[in-house]
Amino acid sequence: MGAKVIPVSVTRKSSSQKQRALEILARLQGLYPDATCSLNYSTPVQLLVATILSAQCTDERVNKVTPALFARFPDAASLANADLEELEILVRSTGFYRNKAKNIQAACRMIVKEFDSVVPQEMEQLLQLPGVARKTGNVVLAHAYGINAGVTVDTHVKRLSQRLGLTKFSDPVRIEKDLMKLLPRPDWENWSIRLIYHGRAVCKARSPLCEACYLHDLCPTGEKTFISRKSENTIE
């Protein structure tokens, strides 16, 4: 991968869970120093829409859809008044397009009517919008407004946090609470982004590349996998 490993000051066995989380954070920062939000957008409402579209869809696919979508409907007002069928056609390739189009339009109508066409800057208000849960709220607040309200938990963050032994839960809200206790608030969002990068490049869902992972000595799952594979190779 070309990145240098940051020297380890604590071992997995002797460190607390919080110390281990901080060491993982430091290594991720070294591995992915320029990691940033993968979604393309120009305004808070465009980021909101792109994040809604990213549910069960890759950011790469969303970025192929949004140029035409935002050229046709660039703001909350135009999306609120869009023909729903046309909106569905524009977002069709992101999957679950009918529900996504409906939520996007309903959310934009609420933004126009109740928030003077401005995407809210408070989590409680964002959660009132159709199609918006804490994942979307965290992304919008962090990248549109620079507010770390929580830790974004997508499929990558969920999988890696479990594998790294930082949570025992599968519910994203409970995982988020665990991570918020372990990590400094200023790093909540960059933790998620870098963990997502690592999930895509190394700690893949089906075949994690534990032998090439710079976190494996801090990872209970990775250490077991590494030992198991080494044993299998020895037997052969």
How many Cβ atoms are within 10 Å of 218's Cβ, its own excluded?
A: 22
Rounded to whole angstroms, how far apart are CA atoms 178 and 213? Answer: 23
pTM of the predicted structure, to 2 decimals: 0.87
Selection from 69, 71, 37, 73 nearest residue 193 by Cα = 37
Residue numbers annotated as active site: 135, 154
Burial of 151: CB neighbours in 10 Å, binned 0-12, 13-18, 19+: buried
Q: Is the pLDDT assigned to residue 234 strictly greater than 80?
A: no
- For 180-190, how does the pLDDT look when each residue is reduced to its tens digit (9 = 90+)? 999 999 999 99
The kind and range of the H/E element at 5 are none
Residue pLDDT, tens place only, 84-118? 999 999 999 999 999 999 999 999 999 999 999 99
Q: What is the pLDDT of residues 172-219, one digit of tens each?
A: 999 999 999 999 999 999 999 999 999 999 999 999 999 999 999 999
Which has the closest alpha carbon to 41: 62, 21, 56?
Answer: 62
Q: Mean pLDDT across the chain, nearest whole number?
A: 91
Question: Band of the pLDDT at 168, cuts 50, 70, 90?
Answer: very high
Rounded Cα distance between 96 and 34, Å, is 32
Q: Three-state SS for 130?
A: coil
CA–CA gap between residue 173 and residue 84 (Å, rounded): 31
